[in-house]
Structures are given as C-alpha cells and as structure tokens.
Amino acid sequence: MNSELEFWLRLNSVEGLNMQTKLDLITCFGSATKVFEADRQALLQAGFTARQFEIYHSDTIYQDVQNILELCEKNKIKIVTIADDEYPEMLKYIPSPPLLLYIRGSIPKANAIAVVGSRKASGYGIETAVKMAADLSAAGILVVSGMARGIDTAAHCGALNAGGQTVAVLGCGVDQSYPPENKALMERIILSGAVISEYPPGSPPAISHFPARNRIISGMSLGTLVVEAGIKSGSLITARFSLDQGREVFAVPGDINHYNSMGTNRLIMDGAKMVINVDDILEELNFGIAPLYKGKEKTTKKRGGELGPECKKVISALKIEDLYGEEISSKTSIPLKALFAILLDLELKGLIKKSLTGKYRLLA
C-alpha cells in the first residue's frame, strides 16, 4: 500500500513542472495522494503536459521511488517535505523552495548565517572563516555552508570546534562525501547538526547541482557572509541568491592586490555590509527585525515594533485579502525586489505568514 510520502516523492520526480505548481496542487487537492488520484484533465489544466502526466503515473517513477525509499532506509536518511516541522522555516519563503529534503542528522531550530567563500582559500581566508564561524556559534547562531574545500570546510570546522551547530548543504546525495577528503568532517557535522540535499541518495555531484544548492544555503539563512572570493567565485552566486531572497549580505574585506579578495571587495563596493568581526553581523540583524528564534544573546522587539510606510502599505493590502508577492507589488507599487525584504521583515515580526501556495496572509 502506498504512503503519502511516496506520492510526495513521485510528484517531486516529475521534471519540468514548476515547483510552485506542485505546491499549489498539493494545497488545492489536500494531499500528494489526492493529486496522484486527480482526474487527468484537471492536472493538464493545472500545468502538466500529456507526457508529464504519463511519466507521473508510470511504473518507472514507481520503481524509482521504491529505490529511493530503500536507499534512505539503508543509510538512515530522513525525507522531510515542505509541510513537515523539521523543514527549515526560512527556506519556505524563497522562490521555488525544494519540495522535500533528504537529511542525515537533525536540522537545529536556530537563527542561521551562511558562511561561504573560495575553494582555493588563502591562509588569511581559512583563519578568518574559522574565527567567524566559531564566534557565530558562541552567539547561538547556526552556521550553514556547502562542505566544499576551502572556506566552507573552515566554516564547518570553526563551528564544530567551538561546540556549535552546523548544516552542510550538498550538491549530491547525502550518502556521498564530496569532496572525498571531507568524509570524517561529514560524520562530525551529522552528530551536531545535519547534512542535507534536495537530490536523492546515490546522486553524484554535478556542475549543474551547485548553483541550485546555493539557493538553499542562502535560503535557510538570515544572511550570507562571504569571507573570501575571487571575481568569478561560486560564493558570489550564493550572495546574489541572498539578495534576491531579501536577505542580508556581509563581506570580509581583503588585500586589494590579492585575487581572492576581488569578489568580496566588489560586494562591499556594491552595497554589502563590510564586517571585521561577528558583532557587525549581530548588530545588523538586530536592526529592524526580530530573529526567528531567540539566540543566547538575542533580544526581540515588541511584536510588530515601529512599521515604516511601505510595511503599512503591505499590511493594508493584506487586510482585504490574501495575496501573492506579485499581487502585493502591484497593489502597493513596491518593486518586487524591494518587497521581498519587507515581507521577510513582517514575517519575522510575526505579522504575516506565507502559505504553501505562496500567498501571504495577515495574522491576527
């Protein structure tokens, strides 16, 4: 007998179907099981192509799902859907969030900062990443990174060595250690936090996976700290995702003559907050918003606090009806890129909530 989780996996396996469409279908029909049982014409009208519908109901996908479940059971991998409590709260609010995640360990419920940078890091970069991650951990902040060589590895190690918690987001299955030399680090991370991926077990690392992986790293976090990066570093992709998601971007300045500082120095020139210690990050995050989770040294403002004119416009629009981000932008004349930061601010203040369909509603 098929379980609800199997139908989540089946829907997730349909390639080429917009992620928001998948979420809308589950919300509309009430469950992943009912989506599968839905009339063919209803699914075609919802966005399925005839070919996708055939694949969705094929024995091939059924067998793929069974293989995934067997691998997960064998390797003690949890599958968490976007409707589950363990799914990272901040990640739900990005465009095209993963429908589900594969997890080894447990994702801590804590305010998170992404710490990323060059794979070919300098001694200065490694030392800085270790210190920043350790100091973030001491402040009760979860350190999120990608377990790549260089800065990512240093960030995870800094958090662990300080007795903190960390999460690694992979561009392969969580049963794969990539890079191979980080296998021992991976096991340490699992003991204090989690290794996660949107790719099923057995998936090898692929170049196309890493940009998509980066949106999860930034999406889980209140902000992204770029410690050291060349002008074409992949960590700059994470920084761009962070901006697009309405999150903060921080950068550590470096030697203007060193290639690995060109990307971070450019970020600062373009408006990223320059940081020389963790207090700069904590100070910025306490300005104007209340953290999602109370950390060891954090205090939250009174619910709502002082609202600016644009926040009040959003609240007024949502008093009338629940709206998608694009609809709010249209009704308030606030550009969509600026609106993301406002919506996140209001979310963190506990004034509005985003549903699985992507609509925002006003909380009482």
pLDDT, tens digit (0-9, with 9 covering 90-100), for 43-79 = 999 899 999 999 999 999 999 999 999 999 999 999 9
With a pLDDT cut of 90, the percent of the chain lying above it is 68
Which CATH number fits the domain that encloses residue 8?
1.10.150
The greatest distance separating any two alpha carbons of the chain, rounded to the nearest whole angstrom, comes to 63
Tally of structural domains, the chain: 3
Give burial (CB, 10 Å; 0-12/13-18/19+) of 275: buried
Give, as one character, the DSSP assignment of residue 189.
H
For residue 94, being part of any structural domain is answered with: no
Average pLDDT of the segment spanning 250-263: 91
Q: Are residues 352 and 249 in the same domain?
A: no
Query: What integer pLDDT is reported at residue 303 of this predicted model?
Result: 42
Query: What integer pLDDT is reported at residue 357 of this predicted model?
Result: 67
Query: What integer pLDDT is reported at residue 290 of this predicted model?
Result: 44
Q: With a cut of 50, say whether residue 177 has pLDDT above it.
A: yes
Q: Are residues 127 and 42 in the same domain?
A: no
Q: With a cut of 50, say whether residue 302 has pLDDT above it.
A: no
Euclidean distance between CA atoms 105 and 195, whole angstroms: 7
Which CATH number fits the domain that encloses residue 351?
1.10.10
Q: With a cut of 50, say whether residue 101 has pLDDT above it.
A: yes
The domain of 242 spans: 105-285
Q: Which residue has the tokens 């699914």?
A: 43
Average pLDDT of the segment spanning 300-329: 77
Closest CA to 132 of 155, 114, 149: 155
Q: With a cut of 60, say whether residue 287 has pLDDT above it.
A: no
Q: With a cut of 50, say whether residue 304 has pLDDT above it.
A: no
Q: Are residues 109 and 257 in the same domain?
A: yes
Query: What integer pLDDT is reported at residue 93 of this predicted model?
Result: 85
Of 203-212, 214-223, 318-327, minimum mean pLDDT range? 318-327
Euclidean distance between CA atoms 2 and 189, whole angstroms: 33
Number of H helices, E strands in the chain: 16, 11
Average pLDDT of the segment spanning 83-96: 90
For residue 202, being part of any structural domain is answered with: yes
Query: What integer pLDDT is reported at residue 119 of this predicted model?
Result: 93
For residue 175, being part of any structural domain is answered with: yes
Tell if the pTM clears 0.85, that is, is over it.
no
Query: What integer pLDDT is reported at residue 193 of this predicted model?
Result: 97
Q: Are residues 263 and 314 in the same domain?
A: no
Query: What integer pLDDT is reported at residue 292 of this predicted model?
Result: 52
Q: With a cut of 70, say whether residue 291 has pLDDT above it.
A: no
For residue 335, being part of any structural domain is answered with: yes
Query: What integer pLDDT is reported at residue 297 of this predicted model?
Result: 39
Q: Are residues 253 and 112 in the same domain?
A: yes
341-361: pLDDT as tens digits = 888 788 877 888 887 667 888
Average pLDDT value over all residues in the chain: 89
Query: What integer pLDDT is reported at residue 339 of this predicted model?
Result: 87
Euclidean distance between CA atoms 94 and 227, whole angstroms: 23
Query: What integer pLDDT is reported at residue 364 of this predicted model?
Result: 64
Q: Which residue has the tokens 């995050």?
A: 285
Average pLDDT of the segment spanning 250-262: 91
Q: Are residues 268 and 187 in the same domain?
A: yes
102-129: pLDDT as tens digits = 999 999 999 999 999 999 999 999 999 9
